[in-house]
Amino acid sequence: MLNRRPKRIKYLKSHKGKLSYNLPLINKEKNETKCQLNKDGSELKYSLIACEPTRLTAAHIYAGELAIKRSLKIALEKGIKGKLIIPVFPHIPVTKKPAEVRMGKGKGSVDYWMTRIKIGTIIFEIKFHNIPLNNKGVLNRCFNIAKTALTIAQSKLPIKTIITI
Query: Quick check: helix, strand or coil at residue 57?
Result: strand
* Helix (H) / strand (E) containing 124: strand 122-129
Write a three-state SS string for 3-17: CCCCCCCCCCCCCCC
Q: Each residue of 89-130: pLDDT tens digit? A: 998 999 899 999 999 888 888 888 999 999 889 999 998 877
Q: What is the pLDDT of residue 74?
A: 77
* Helix (H) / strand (E) containing 122: strand 122-129
Domain residue ranges in the chain: 44-97+108-164
Architecture of domain 44-97+108-164: Alpha-Beta Complex (3.90)
* Helix (H) / strand (E) containing 164: strand 161-164
Q: What is the pLDDT of residue 47?
A: 92
pLDDT category of residue 49 using cuts at 50, 70 and 90: very high
Q: Each residue of 139-160: pLDDT tens digit? A: 888 888 889 999 999 999 999 9
Of the candidates 112, 125, 16, the one whose C-alpha atom is nearest the C-alpha of residue 59 is 112
Hey, which bits of 7-121 come out as E strands? 44-50, 54-57, 81-85, 92-96, 109-117
